[in-house]
Structure 1
C-alpha cells in the first residue's frame, strides 16, 4: 500500500491535470477518491488470492479423504479393533502390523499386553509408525496384519489428538464435554463441576466474571497450550478407562504433564501416550521404542 501511495504521489500532477480537464473542482478530492478505489481493488485481489488458496487446500484435503476411502474399500484386512474375552488385558496386540492402507507396513509383528491401569509411552523417530499405531487403535486404519484387541467399552475410550478439536461458535460447556452432545447423559454436568475441571486445568480465566461455563463463549484465540489444557480437562470430566494420547502436553509446561499423568495414575486409567518428550518416561509404567525400521523394543519402567 505504501507503494501505491508513492505511485499516486508521483502521478499527482497528471491526476490534477485530468481533474481540471474533466471539470473537477477539487483535484485533492479526486486524487483521494482514486486512491481509495485502488486500495479497495487491491484488497479485493488479496481476498481473491486467499480464497483461491483455501479452495486448493480444501481440494487437496478432499482428495486425501477420497483416496483413504478407496483404499479402505479395497482392503481385505481384519477389523482394526475387536473385543476380547480376556478382561485381564485392557489392550492386547497380537502380531500387529500397521501402516497406511495399501502401503508397506511401518511397524510389524508387534505383540503387547497392557493390563488395566498400565501406562504405555510410545517413542520413536518420525515415520516410525507411532501415528499409524494410534490410527489403527482408534479404527481409522485397519491393521496390515494381526489383531488389536481391546476389552474396554467404546464409550469408555477417549482420544486426545495432538491438535485438539475446538468446536466453532460453541460455549465452554460444549467444548469441555466434547465429543458428547446434548443427547448424552453427561450433558447434565453442573457448572460447578465444569468450573472445577477448568480450575484443575488452569483455565478458570476463560469464564468471564459473572458468567458460567454453560453460557461463556469458547474463545477463538486460545493458544496451543490452552487448547491442550482444555482437551485434558475433557479427560478430567469423562473419566475414561482407556485414553489414547498424541503429544498431549507438547505445548504445556512440565508441571502440567505431572498433573495430567498423576491424575491418570490416581484413577487407574489405562494410557497409550505418543510423545517425543523423554521426561514423560517417569510418568508411565512401560515404554515402547520404535526404531524406524519396522522393529521395536518394549520394556518396563516401574
Structure 2
C-alpha cells in the first residue's frame, strides 16, 4: 500500500468574507498550499489580501468556510488551542519588521522558541543562517532596514513552522536590499521545509515565487504557474 499523501501546509475550503457594507472580499475561495511552496498573492489595494492573511492567522473569522493548517481545522479549536497552534505552526514576516527595540537580536529571534518551551540556542544558528553571525548581542538600533528584515526572517523560521505568512516584507526596503531579502526568505523557507504565502504589490518581489496568484472578485486566479526557480528545481 502506498504511503498516504502529505497534508497540505494550508487549505482554504469555501472561505467567504464580506463586510457590513455588503462588499464581498472572499467568495467561496478554495485553495491549497503545499509544503515547500513559495507563493505570492497580488491584487489591487482593498481587494482583501490582508484580510485573507488575517483569516489564515486566526486574527479574523470568516463568515463561512474553513481554514486548515497542517490538516487541523482552525475554527474548531478553542482559544487556547488555537493560540498554541499559531505559536507552533505559523511564522510571520511584516513590512514594519516588528523587531522589539529593547531586546538584543538573539533575544528577538529566540522569542518563538521561548513561547514554545524550546531552548533558545537555535537563535544564534538562525542569525548565522541569515548572514548575521556574531551579531546576537547587537541592538536593533545598530542595524539597517535590510538587516532588521533578516532578523524578522530568522525569528519567523527559528521554531521551524509549517507556514510562513509574509505581508509586504520588502515594502520598506530599497530594490537591491529587497532582492537579497527575498532570495534569503525563499532559500530559508525551502531549507526549513516550510510553505510561504507572501502578499505583495511588487512585481519584482512576486518574481521570486513559485506561483503568483491574483486576488480579484473574491477568488484567487493563477497569474503564473512556476518561476524560473521552480523550473530549475524540477529538473534537478
Distance 1:98 1:203 in 2: 41
In structure 2, the partner of 1:231 is 152
In structure 1, the partner of 2:168 is 247
SS of residue in 1 equivalent to 2:158: helix
Q: How does 1:84-95 map to 2 (within 5 A)?
A: 87-95=6-14
Matched, 1:117 2:50: no
Q: CA contact under 8 A between 1:100 and 1:132: conserved in structure 2?
A: no
Distance 2:115 2:30 in 1: 40
Once the two structures are TM-superposed, the CA of residue 274 in structure 1 deviates from its matched residue by: 0.9
Once the two structures are TM-superposed, the CA of residue 93 in structure 1 deviates from its matched residue by: 0.9
How many residues are paired up?
A: 204
TM-score by length of 1: 0.59
Tell which has more relative contact order, 1 or 2 (C-alpha 8 A, sep 6+).
2
Matched, 1:256 2:175: no
Q: Which has the higher strand share?
A: 2
Specify whether residues 159 and 255 from structure 1 end up closer, same or farther in structure 2 by C-alpha distance, changes over 3 A only: closer
In structure 2, the partner of 1:177 is 110
Once the two structures are TM-superposed, the CA of residue 233 in structure 1 deviates from its matched residue by: 1.7
| Offset from partner CA, 1:230-289 (integer Å, 9 cap, x none) | 101223433222111112233133133112202222333111111122233443222220
SS of residue in 2 equivalent to 1:179: helix
In structure 2, the partner of 1:106 is 25
| Offset from partner CA, 1:70-97 (integer Å, 9 cap, x none) | xxxxxxxxxxxxxxxx852221111112
Specify whether residues 172 and 99 from structure 1 end up closer, same or farther in structure 2 by C-alpha distance, changes over 3 A only: farther
Specify whether residues 220 and 139 from structure 1 end up closer, same or farther in structure 2 by C-alpha distance, changes over 3 A only: same
Structure 2: segments with no counterpart, 5+ residues: 73-84, 231-236
Q: Which has the higher helix share?
A: 1
TM-score by length of 2: 0.73
Indicate the structure (1 or 2) with the bigger Cα radius of gyration.
Answer: 1
